[in-house]
Chains A and B, each alone.
Chain A
Amino acid sequence: MKILIIEDEHELLATMKNYLESEEFLCETAISYFEAEDSLSAYNYDIIVLDLTLPGGNGLDLIKLIKDRNRQAGLLIVSAKNSIDDKITGLDMGADDYISKPFHLSELNSRIKSLARRRHFNGTNEVSFNEIKINTDSREVSVNGENIDLTKKEYEILLYFMVNRNKLITRESIAEHVWGNDISYADNFDFIYSQIKNLRKKIRQKNGRDYIHNMYGMGYKFSDR
């Protein structure tokens, strides 16, 4: 899958590219409005990640260009302004999703994959890892072919783990992904721990392996290694 990342901050662009490439995406980058214009005119992309604040032009204008030239592309807007106006305008103009800076790389990855699934670029709406399978349309989860019943939060956590497999995912990013930004008012992350405990128990009941590893008290890694 081919992704174009349009981002003016050099360091951030490099990190995003690096992370997404480790997820086996094919990444191209554009660091300014004009570079983005060139790339968009010359090639087709499956997903475009667009930072709205760009030197040389307004990111919102690029949305128009993307909609003209790359109609089928999924568009994820990134903005540091956290400005509601930008968000609404962007989504109105045809952006598919919006993420504000600073974001977690695992969250960015999860958003891109969700966008890809919704657009059926891989021809599938299934996310699977060994014996665990998730159908993201019906939201059904099966372990060794047997369906398990997860709560909404458990489902969200499992899916987040599975799209970010083999990566350390911080507790902060899980909290924000599942509970939203609001949860920053929590003083500890025990509530995540109890959700994960339940999730492990349910998977184990169907003879699934425990892939969730605690990493240095910093977060978790979903991996079979």
Chain B
Amino acid sequence: MKLLKKTNRAYFVTSALAFIIFGVLIYFFLSFIFEGQLNEKLLSDRMSVIRNINKDGSLQYFPPFIEVQKVPGQTERSVVFVDTLIFDVTEKENIPFRQISSVVAIKGQMYLIIVRDTLLEKGDLLMTIIIAIGVVFALLIISLYFINKRLSLILWKPFYNTLDNLKGFSQEKPDFILSAETEIDEFIELNKTLEKLTLKVISDYQSLKRFTEDASHEIQTPLAVIQSKLETLMQYPDLKKDQAELIKSAYSSVQRISKLTQTLLLLTKIANGQFPEKRSVNLSELLEEKIELFEDQINGKSLILKKEIEPDCILETNFILAESMVVNLVGNAAKHCITGGIISIRLDKNNLEISNSGVPFSVPPSKLFERFYKINSSSESQGLGLSIVKEICTLNGWKIDYLYEDNQHKFIVGF
């Protein structure tokens, strides 16, 4: 929900509540005053009736407002207030009245004096209050709405500026400046905090980047020494067979460590988003090129290669990552395909499908993408290839699926 909508809703609810309470209070207060005045008027009317009787003995009679009767034999009774309904002949309806009645002794005679006045005005009063409050309420809400709208545009402008600036943030650009001018303390504080935060993100990212590079350097250099020493050792003439075996196994282990650190470094770099440069990559050409790379293995295992590659499938992505994904998928298929099996590779604008013949896995497919997971634990492979593919897909927002059908392991990348 937008901030403006939320504040407007809060204003509406609270002012509606306030107006209802206010209206009820006003009603009771005004009707108290009104009734007081009415009662006073009735009492004063009664007094003037009594005065008239005293003066000349005349009995006023204006029903339903004033009724005076002689009631001989009754005893004196003080004033009684009653609310009553009286049928009006002209209006043909019952009209509420307030009456006071009393029996008074004047010059030895007993008189029943009833004085009434209509309560219609009290109903009008209620109506007036409701209408008045309603109108004020509507005016208030409408003006609040427009004031808020206008105000929030002005007040929140620095906030939206900050937001826009932040959207342009990338840890790859170390010279990021928030640069949102504002005079509002809260926003100044927000900007300061954000600036601190972004600086920290950038410096953390830079040091992480430096760390992975340094770590790789520190590992690769001694490896390079070992490898070059072993290669020098190999050159010695007349090596004995068992000496050569020792060198050979040490050498192949060095190769494995070296490849492993390179792969781990690649995974870290992908996860760190250190491959930001994107360009148009012709996946069709890349795929053909990499298939050729594995041609010898495919022929060596007498595999049948089925290709269905739509030409010029262009992806907007990082070239190194696209290359790495293709090599891993094609390489895996060539490596794991059973001898004499089928490799089929299909590419169109939306999907890349690579499958190879093989017996079904005994493990859930989700495990395939885990780091260092190997179907065959004695295998020399690193168990990192599919993790890399998965990382690359995640980074690019592509979908990767695995399924097993018709004796084929099939990997599908959806772009």
A residues adjacent to B (C-beta < 8 A)? 9, 11-12, 15-16, 18-19, 22, 53, 80-84, 100-106, 153, 167-168, 170, 172, 179-187, 190-191, 194-195, 215-219
Contacts and interface: CB of A to CB of B under 8 A. Distances in A.
Nearest to B257: A102
Given A168-B234, A180-B293, A187 B265 contact: no
Contacts of B299: 194
Nearest to A103: B224
A216 B228 contact: no
A138 B235 CA distance: 32
Interface in B320-344: 320, 327-328, 331-332, 334-335
29 contacts: A9-B225, A11-B225, A12-B224, A12-B228, A15-B231, A16-B228, A18-B232, A19-B232, A53-B217, A80-B216, A81-B213, A82-B262, A82-B265, A84-B320, A100-B220, A101-B223, A102-B258, A104-B227, A172-B251, A182-B290, A185-B335, A185-B381, A187-B380, A187-B381, A190-B297, A194-B296, A216-B241, A216-B248, A217-B248
B293 A190 contact: no
B399 interface: no
Contacts, number: 116
A117 to B, nearest CB: 23
Given A12-B228, A195-B296, A185 B258 contact: no
A82 B216 CA distance: 8
Contact of A185 (B225, B226, B296, B328): B328
Contacts of B379: 187
B255 A172 contact: yes
A128 B343 CA distance: 41
Interface residues of B, number: 48
B168 interface: no
A190 B300 contact: yes
A105 B216 CA distance: 20
Interface of B: 213, 216-217, 220-221, 223-229, 231-232, 234-235, 239, 241, 244-245, 247-248, 251-252, 254-255, 258-259, 262, 265, 290, 293-294, 296-297, 299-300, 320, 327-328, 331-332, 334-335, 379-381, 385
Contacts of B293: 179-180, 182-183
A82 B229 CA distance: 21
